[in-house]
């Protein structure tokens, strides 16, 4: 029995639920609607308590995603707070029940910090771009004069932009911008995303005319192979305590080699599942249901 939890409008959860149904794996639907909440009651003092959503059947595996789609459709703070509250409550219950199979149960804090993750990736044998984490506008303008660069938020959550766009947004005469950003040389297509799901590895090529395809949703996705990076990527995931994630690579324009950008700990996957004709979600169900 699987538990699938998160936002009702999340297309990734829809794809996973469909894969579970097709595989004949029973699952509990705890996708939270926009306008109402299902019951939740957990007595932390009772180790034999039934699952807090009122079901007597204990799941053997679970997949949970915080709802990021409801806040996109409704920017009121209460909507984002509700999504975070549900995710925290369910994640807490899952962490307290180690017999329930979940991805990345023992994930380490380094995996969530992009600069630190780049250092660990290089130590594990992945090629990484020459990176600055900086808000020094004088140094950044000097670097821009040496070649095209990009800037992206150090904490994630925003789109990648060219360094000159980022500098143009800074008030003239400002020596230090409000926040440090990750500064890297501009790489080229093709971009690759490599999913590692337990023993499964699925790679995809992503082609887009945009610097960041998420901004305009104009990417073409197709299955691909990227075997050269797999051993080092698995070393990095072992280092992070991860058994599920998606690594992003772009291409060095001079050598044609793949360059590691980041490892997503809770990636979107519905579009890639479609490109794989369901193989990606089938792999996820295979691992989660193996418990």
Residue 73: the pLDDT is: 87
Do 148 and 204 fall within a single domain?
Answer: no
Residue 156: the pLDDT is: 75
Do 234 and 254 fall within a single domain?
Answer: yes
Residue 120: the pLDDT is: 98
- The pLDDT of residue 185 is above 70: yes
Q: Which domain holds residue 165?
A: 132-185
Do 248 and 115 fall within a single domain?
Answer: yes
Do 260 and 197 fall within a single domain?
Answer: yes
pLDDT, the chain, mean? 93
Do 149 and 119 fall within a single domain?
Answer: no
> Which letter, b or e, does each residue of 99-138 get, where b requires 16 or more Cβ atoms within 10 Å of its Cβ?
ebbbbbeebeeebeebeebbebbeebebbbbebbebbebe
Residue 35: the pLDDT is: 83
Q: How far is CA 252 from CA 127, 184, 190, 198, 258, in A?
A: 10, 12, 10, 29, 6
Q: What is the pTM of this model?
A: 0.92
Do 175 and 67 fall within a single domain?
Answer: no
pLDDT in tens, 202-250: 999 998 766 566 555 667 999 999 999 999 999 999 999 999 999 999 9
Q: pLDDT > 90: what percent of the chain?
A: 82
Residue 212: the pLDDT is: 61
Do 30 and 72 fall within a single domain?
Answer: yes
Structure tokens at 277: 């004709």
* Residue 286 included in any domain: no
pLDDT in tens, 257-269: 999 999 999 999 9
- Residue that is last in its domain, among 95, 119, 146: 95
Counting the structural domains of the chain, the total is 3
Do 116 and 258 fall within a single domain?
Answer: yes
Do 194 and 167 fall within a single domain?
Answer: no
Do 169 and 271 fall within a single domain?
Answer: no
Structure tokens at 17: 């639920």
pLDDT in tens, 54-90: 888 899 999 999 999 998 889 999 999 999 999 999 9
Nearest to 182 by CA among 143, 145, 217: 143
Residue 160: the pLDDT is: 86
Query: Which CATH number do you get for residue 195?
Result: 3.30.470.20
286 in Cβ contact with 155 (< 8 Å): no
Do 75 and 44 fall within a single domain?
Answer: yes
Do 26 and 37 fall within a single domain?
Answer: yes
* Residue 104 included in any domain: no
């Amino acid at each position: 029995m699987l538990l699938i939890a998160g936002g009702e409008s999340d297309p990734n959860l829809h794809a996973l639920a469909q894969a579970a149904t097709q595989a004949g794996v029973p699952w509990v639907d705890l996708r939270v609607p926009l306008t109402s909440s299902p019951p939740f009651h957990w007595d932390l003092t009772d180790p034999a308590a039934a699952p807090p959503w009122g079901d007597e059947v204990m799941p053997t595996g679970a997949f949970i995603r915080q709802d990021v789609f409801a806040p996109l459709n409704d920017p009121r703070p209460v909507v984002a707070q509700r999504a975070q509250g549900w995710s925290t409550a369910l994640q807490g219950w899952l962490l307290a029940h180690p017999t329930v199979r979940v991805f990345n149960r023992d994930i380490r804090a380094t995996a969530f910090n992009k600069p630190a993750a780049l250092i660990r990736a290089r130590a594990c044998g992945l090629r990484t771009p020459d990176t600055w984490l900086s808000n020094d506008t004088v140094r950044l303008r000097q670097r821009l004069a040496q070649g095209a660069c990009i800037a992206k938020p150090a904490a994630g959550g925003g789109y990648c932009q060219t360094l000159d766009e980022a500098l143009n947004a800074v008030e003239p005469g400002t020596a230090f911008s409000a926040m440090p950003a990750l500064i890297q040389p501009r790489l080229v297509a093709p971009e690759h995303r490599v999913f590692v799901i337990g023993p499964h590895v699925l790679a995809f090529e992503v082609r887009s005319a945009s610097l960041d395809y998420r901004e305009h949703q104009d990417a073409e996705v197709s299955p691909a192979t990227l075997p050269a990076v797999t051993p080092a990527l698995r070393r990095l995931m072992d280092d992070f305590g991860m058994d599920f994630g998606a690594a992003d690579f772009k291409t060095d324009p001079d050598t044609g080699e793949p360059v590691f950008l980041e490892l997503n700990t809770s990636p979107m996957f519905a579009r890639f599942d479609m490109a794989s004709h369901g193989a990606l979600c089938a792999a996820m169900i295979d691992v989660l249901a193996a418990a």
